[in-house]
Amino acid sequence: MSEENDKVKEVHGNCLKIDLTPNWNYGYFLGLTLGDGSIWHSKRTGNYYIQLESTNRELVNLFREAGKILGLHPTTEKPQFRESSFSPKKLHYRTRATSKVLFSLLRPLKLDDSYWKLPSLPTKESRRGFLAGLFDAEGSVSKDRLDYSSKHVENLEQLLPLLKELELYEGKVEITPNYSSNEMYRLKIFGKGNRIKFSRISPKLKVIKNE
């Protein structure tokens, strides 16, 4: 078992015993956090935070529930309207948890400027969960295509062997510049059959499919 998973029995921070068994939920939480979450250490409180903030309340709820299964005690803040330089004011939802174990595991993987490294995932189920978390966080789905966008083409390239190994696509796959944003790249997975395959591992895609 990897060094990351050796930490399963350690107790840190808030005296929480975190279950890092490499199952689907473990991979899913890592995928959500690396895809759209944030981590930081507060010198003032001494806490190590893992957080997800989004305008999508469903996504925040999925993050919270996955964290609870790991043994975290996520807290959810009152939604607030926020605006940014690239979007109008919208209602934002946010939940966060504290864990030095998870912070130490994620810190080498979640790098600056939206770049992340593929974690060590020793089981097929944990790898399926990881992909589901990434696509739920930063992916999009249409009638006949799945997209995943990133500022870094390296993020997308490292997903291709994983997608192939898990047999989550067949047919045409492309990595192209996202012409609506000069600083983004997009992984495109074509075909309704591939969308159905992803819906079997991704909670958010299941909801979209049933709408």
For 32-51, write each residue's pLDDT tens digit: 999 999 999 999 999 999 99
Which is higher by pLDDT, 61 or 205?
A: 61
Which is higher by pLDDT, 4 or 39?
A: 39
Is the per-residue pLDDT at 195 higher than 50?
Answer: yes
- CA-nearest of 139, 97, 126, 132 to 203 is 132
d(CA 156, CA 169): 15
Rounded to the nearest 5°, which phi and psi values hold at 72? -75, 165
Is the per-residue pLDDT at 211 higher than 50?
Answer: no
- CA-nearest of 205, 207, 204, 211 to 62 is 204
What kind of architecture, by CATH, is found in domain 5-210? Answer: Roll (3.10)
Is the per-residue pLDDT at 208 higher than 60?
Answer: no
Is the per-residue pLDDT at 92 higher than 50?
Answer: yes
Contact predicate 15/100, CB 8 Å: no
For 17-29, write each residue's pLDDT tens digit: 899 999 999 999 9
Q: What is the pLDDT of residue 175?
A: 92
Which is higher by pLDDT, 9 or 151?
A: 151
For 124-136, write each residue's pLDDT tens digit: 999 999 999 999 9
